[in-house]
Amino acid sequence: MASAAKTIVATGVSSGLGFEALKQLLAAPQPYRVVLGARNTSGMDESLRDTAFESTNKVEVLPLDLADLKGTRTFAEAALQKIGDAKIDYLFLNAAVTDPAVANPRGYRWCESAVVNHVAQFYLVHLLREKLEASKARIVFVSSGAATSVPDPSLVENALSSGSGATGLSLYSMTKFVQLLGAHWWRRELTGVCDVVAVSPGLVPGTGLGRGGGISLPTGSPDAKTVPQGAQSMLAALTRSDFPEDPDRIFLTSWGEWWDKSVFEKTLDKQLQDKWSFSKEDIEKEAGILAQG
């Protein structure tokens, strides 16, 4: 008897590691219904036409530019309409950019890298929350070991501000730091209802991560992984059930272990988690959504 299809809502799966993860997902014995967001929907449709996958899988592509918070809300509404009465089994949050912190063209107080890598995807959880809770969904934040390399959290707010001029790996690390703060906040908020997991694909030189941010990943590192290996690490977060007893240990490493919380201790500061875990209303006020009614 065939397994029932599981529904996954995903960001950041239209290229690179994300697209490789999508291909591996669609090649798995378990059938999936994937509702994904993409900036270039026609390009994504073309990529899917060139990808062979079982007829038991269904992929639906919706427009999504995470730099636009209003557009993020439109995507959430469209995704919920597509899904209807079905469950959301997984929310897979993978999108990330490394653009320098120039003035935000939409007037938000955060730079675009902060919006895409953290604020918009955190907002997406707010927008889907009712359905996620009813579905007892698993929420996966694709993180990075870079989240642990922020030396001074007090510098993050200024660096992630619109027009700060921050660039490169330090900016990326800070966006991943606040993303992990948000993952911890959602874990606290949804305890006993939804599983929340952060996962690292590992050091994967063969991706387009450095585009726009001047980041160069060392190809000769002994810890370097291929794109298929990185994608496999990401997908492990969907199925692992051996959660540590300590609820703060939500970070699954690329080598398959749950990181000791001493590694990401700075992200366990609840005041920092609360600071960077914006309410739905605050985000909508920033985006001018509340003003429109």
> Which residues are the active-site residues?
172, 176
The Cα–Cα gap between 193 and 204 comes to 33
b/e burial code for range 174-211 (CB count within 10 A of at least 16 → b): bbbbbbbbbbbbbbeebeeebbbbbbbbbbbbbbebee
Residue with token string 């895409």: 116
b/e burial code for range 257-288 (CB count within 10 A of at least 16 → b): ebbebeebebbeeeebbeebbbebeebbebbe
Region of 240 on the Ramachandran plot (φ > 0 left; ψ -120 to 50 alpha; else beta): beta
Identify whether the C-beta of residue 14 lies closer than 8 Å to the C-beta of residue 42. no
The set of residues, in sequence order, having a beta carbon less than 8 Å from that of 137 and lying 6+ positions away, is 87, 88, 89, 90, 91, 131, 194
At 108, the amino acid letter reads Y
Identify whether the C-beta of residue 57 lies closer than 8 Å to the C-beta of residue 33. yes
